[in-house]
Amino acid sequence: MFRSMLVRSSASAKQSLLRSNFSTGSVPERKVAILGAAGGIGQPLALLMKLNPLVSSLSLYDIANTPGVAADVGHINTRSQVVGYMGDDNLAKALEGADLVIIPAGVPRKPGMTRDDLFNINAGIVKNLCSAIAKYCPHALVNMISNPVNSTVPIAAEIFKKAGMYDEKKLFGVTTLDVVRAKTFYAGKANVPVAEVNVPVIGGHAGVTILPLFSQATPQANLSGDVLTALTKRTQDGGTEVVEAKAGKGSATLSMAYAGALFADACLKGLNGVPDVVECSYVQSTITELPFFASKVRLGKNGVEEVLDLGPLSDFEKEGLEALKPELKSSIEKGVKFANQ
């Protein structure tokens, strides 16, 4: 039964690919590199990217244990060829020729850990990896998962600028998990099928900087102000909810890998010329006075084709937007300062 379902879903995936308007008549070759592939997010993300038919070459990199992950994932009977690379000496090989680089490297948040604690460890890791990206695959799209994303994306931008290789259209902070959570929580309260739900999430990717726009949710449900306030708070605190539930044994690794794979798939579709691919992401932006901001973006062959405007906000959302700006501004400045030390 399960096998026949897999066969059917595999066949339908192939059909949908064939329906995509590729003038070549086949799916382009695409190399995806995952930096931090042996970690809690990296391993399930490697699995999900191995299942993606748009990937022809999957390059897995970490400081240790990558050959084992690559051997394991490499036995899966899908299109992509998998190679595992380990240690600083092999980072160049892992990156060369990559169309898309996904960065879940670094340490996860543990109970009692602040985002400042995270910053102190992960900022240096991101800085080193981005220096290598600028050198070995400067034209790749970069999907930043390493937290705190509000600061690591500005760090990446500064490192790329220093190398003379910055293209703001190709650098993304992955905020898809906020959207995934908002959809799940909203569907539960609105009693609608979650597969039909869409909720834009704007701002940043930490605590109060996460602002789900439930006033723009589809399908629309008539939820009370108290319920919307609670949904907003739960979306903002989703990461903490998982950290506490795992009781010191980890953070949101599986749901983050799923969200990372969703966003990577959207980026690959954009690169391949699929029209009207729109996702929320934390990017360089002029939508607000802040230099980086998460909102809906249209993805295309060059990365960001267009940053879409925020649309109409409720009074509650307007207040939330003004409330998040000081914290997001501070996180951006912290990243820029670190990169330029």
Identify the DSSP state of 252.
S
The annotation status of 87 as a binding-site residue, yes or no, is no
The annotation status of 13 as a binding-site residue, yes or no, is no
The annotation status of 39 as a binding-site residue, yes or no, is yes
- φ, ψ of residue 138 in degrees (nearest 5): -65, -15
**CA 292, CA 286: separation in Å to the nearest integer?**
8
**CA 101, CA 132: separation in Å to the nearest integer?**
11
The annotation status of 109 as a binding-site residue, yes or no, is yes
Cβ-Cβ contacts under 8 Å for 146 (sequence gap 6 or more)? 36, 103, 104, 105, 106, 122, 125, 126, 152
The annotation status of 36 as a binding-site residue, yes or no, is yes
Q: Are 234 and 210 in contact (CB under 8 A)?
A: no
The closest alpha carbon to 35, from 18, 54, 51, 49, belongs to 49
The annotation status of 132 as a binding-site residue, yes or no, is no
The annotation status of 41 as a binding-site residue, yes or no, is yes
Identify the DSSP state of 186.
H
**CA 210, CA 235: separation in Å to the nearest integer?**
8
The annotation status of 234 as a binding-site residue, yes or no, is no
For the chain, counts of helices (H) and of strands (E): 11, 11
The annotation status of 202 as a binding-site residue, yes or no, is no
The annotation status of 164 as a binding-site residue, yes or no, is no
The annotation status of 77 as a binding-site residue, yes or no, is no
The annotation status of 115 as a binding-site residue, yes or no, is yes
Among residues 30, 31, 50, 205, the one annotated as catalytic is 205
SS3 (DSSP) at 289:
coil
User: Is position 205 annotated as part of the catalytic site?
Assistant: yes
The annotation status of 37 as a binding-site residue, yes or no, is yes
Beta bridge partners of 278: 298
The annotation status of 147 as a binding-site residue, yes or no, is yes
The annotation status of 40 as a binding-site residue, yes or no, is yes
Instruction: Read off the tokens for 93.
Output: 């090989």
- Number of Cβ within 10 Å of residue 341's Cβ equals 6
The annotation status of 298 as a binding-site residue, yes or no, is no
Beta bridge partners of 53: none
Parallel, antiparallel, or unpaired: how do β-strands 31-35 and 100-103 relate? parallel
List, as residue ranges, the binding site.
36-42, 62, 109, 115, 122, 145-147, 181, 256
Query: What residues are annotated to the active site?
Result: 205
List, as residue ranges, the binding site for substrate.
109, 115, 147, 181
List, as residue ranges, the binding site for NAD(+).
36-42, 62, 122, 145-147, 256
